[in-house]
Chains A and B, each alone.
Chain A
């Protein structure tokens, strides 16, 4: 495989391009509403109309407006059909020659699409994720070629540092710094791990990237491997993502066949292989040390850090762990340069962020916006606000580790620092919108229940503390709790946050603490008088007696 082979594939693909392309979303969301049937019927309709030479029916990845699926887009007509059924196929084909198909359409120029900036999702909904040629046509694997042939590993790390990319898994650690640490760690054997154990409730960014553009992740991993000196990579993906797994398997197979994975890639001395590891669905396995234990075949529990994975990770070797979206950002950075990337976003948060919009919002789906976009733009303009004219009450970011941002802070720009100041986190990109019918104490209870169920059980504060906090929240909701219970809850939040072993426990109190910060009145309204509390004498109206002695 040399550059010329890539160019040839691209030329051949472009030459074979037909006049009209019908893009059918084949991501998990639309597939669950019979997108497969839609695509088959469209192919039949094309054949019946005798248009095989003019119309290509292409299965593509996520087209982002998930709530309106299955989606079909006609190019160059630029019509976006929504809620398409297999029966609509002949009408869609008929409408290609002018005329209107009586099928609902979405406006491709609406704010939902216009405000998006595609870096990670640039190819999503455009290319066929099941064909490596489709990825190569949009410049795929050219960045890897450039890196392997023209750059030293040190240059590669420096470019990454210059881009300002920060880890998209949630914590926002500078990616270049991480790469540099692994590159400098001594060791003959190093590993790359792609964390695809996406587990936040309501989050599906990484799944969509893997389903829509798996090769960008593979290319990103290969570039990272070259930068740090690794020759083996693992993608740890959860078993609940069967479509992502099968597309990854296919992508790895195709990449190996073409020689962009394997030995002597692009006739350089660089070797790199990628294997999949399927997670059994434990949320804690998204924590890097637990994930590595799981890859090694052990029980997925975290261990104290240091040592950090960069120093001693998988099988005790230096290991680079990045999340799916982080790796997907890598090829565009090397294609367009670090300055280009650093020019997008805010001073400390560069590039874009993908969010999964869900909850009480009109347009649910996937969005990618530049860092620093105000929350209001995302939920009101792009998301279309809460359905049925309800008021938005809060936006939850960061899943079970994050917090609820109340409506009065909707003008907050989305970047790592601003969200952190409000007691939430950027997180991996789950964004759950809540309208004014939402009970915030119940929201806190929901996330606490999640953490309680997903605690691995290794350390006491997380294992036993989340249970007690959950029970206290239940007690408050059942209107059986007193002020003393609320105090106990707050004390436990502080203790579990400060004493837990890993990030799961350390952040488990976040949703409770943030709702207590912004919606304390909702908690207080549920409290009962402490009739027999300190100084209490059974009478709710009498003044408490002074404590004896």
Chain B
């Protein structure tokens, strides 16, 4: 959502890029020959993993976008429970804290299975650039996107990096 904080820059951006896939673009499958993908979120379940592999195959430049993608952040706190934590995590969420109709979300082929371990994106595939931040400040996003658009290899340093 912090992408929307780019405000008027978004208007300039629309002339320069085609947004072909995003949560707000109605596209069922990830398209081929994508130039740049800003990936949000940690890799938590099999669906994430499959999509990430597909993205890597069909994209030239990947940017890990935001702390969850860069560090696995809050979603990875469950990793502290050790391997084999998925059952206890689901128990806690869907049984112990359920107000009514407690049941585990299990439907093979429909509900993706949780991975044993939540991972940052670059642990799974090669990532070209990193833009940490929770969320990444709009100024940092603008700096990175501008550098890429002008053909410069993005290089954020010092005050342009922010975690949390």
Contacts and interface: CB of A to CB of B under 8 A. Distances in A.
A497 to B, nearest CB: 26
Nearest to B54: A538
A532 B125 contact: yes
Interface string A516-549: 0000000000000010111111110000010111
Contact of A533 (B53, B61, B126): B126
6 contacts: A532-B125, A536-B125, A538-B53, A547-B128, A548-B35, A548-B61
A163 B153 CA distance: 63
A521 to B, nearest CB: 26
Contacts of A538: 53, 56-57
B111 interface: no
B82 interface: no
Given A532-B124, A532-B125, A548-B128, A537 B151 contact: no
A198 B80 CA distance: 37
Contacts of B57: 537-539
Interface residues of B, number: 13
A537 to B, nearest CB: 5
A547 B61 CA distance: 8
Contacts of A535: 126
* Dominant secondary structure of chain A at its interface with chain B: loop
B53 A545 contact: no
Contacts, number: 29
Contacts of A547: 128
Contact of A549 (B53, B124, B126, B151): B151
A343 to B, nearest CB: 61
Given A548-B35, A549-B151, A549-B153, A536 B56 contact: yes
Contact of A532 (B35, B60, B126, B153): B126
B74 interface: no
B144 to A, nearest CB: 13
Contacts of A536: 56, 125-126
Interface string B39-61: 00000000000000100110011
Contacts of B125: 532, 536
A97 to B, nearest CB: 70
Contacts of B126: 530, 532-536
Interface string B141-153: 0000000100101
Contacts of B60: 545, 548-549
B148 A549 contact: yes
Interface string B110-128: 0000000000000011101
A517 to B, nearest CB: 28
B76 to A, nearest CB: 16
A532 B56 contact: yes
Interface in B91-136: 124-126, 128
Given A548-B60, A548-B61, 10 more contacts: A532-B53, A532-B56, A532-B124, A535-B126, A536-B126, A545-B60, A547-B128, A548-B128, A549-B148, A549-B151
A240 to B, nearest CB: 32
B153 A537 contact: no
Interface in A493-511: none
Contacts of A548: 35, 60-61, 128
Given A532-B125, A534-B126, A536-B126, A549 B61 contact: yes
A313 to B, nearest CB: 43
A534 to B, nearest CB: 5
A14 B151 CA distance: 94
A535 B61 CA distance: 10
A547 B151 CA distance: 13
Nearest to B35: A548
B111 to A, nearest CB: 25
Contacts of B56: 532, 536-538
A371 B160 CA distance: 60
Nearest to A544: B126
Contacts of B153: 549
Nearest to A532: B125
Interface in A46-77: none
A530 B148 CA distance: 26
A545 B148 CA distance: 18
Contacts of A534: 126
A545 B53 CA distance: 15
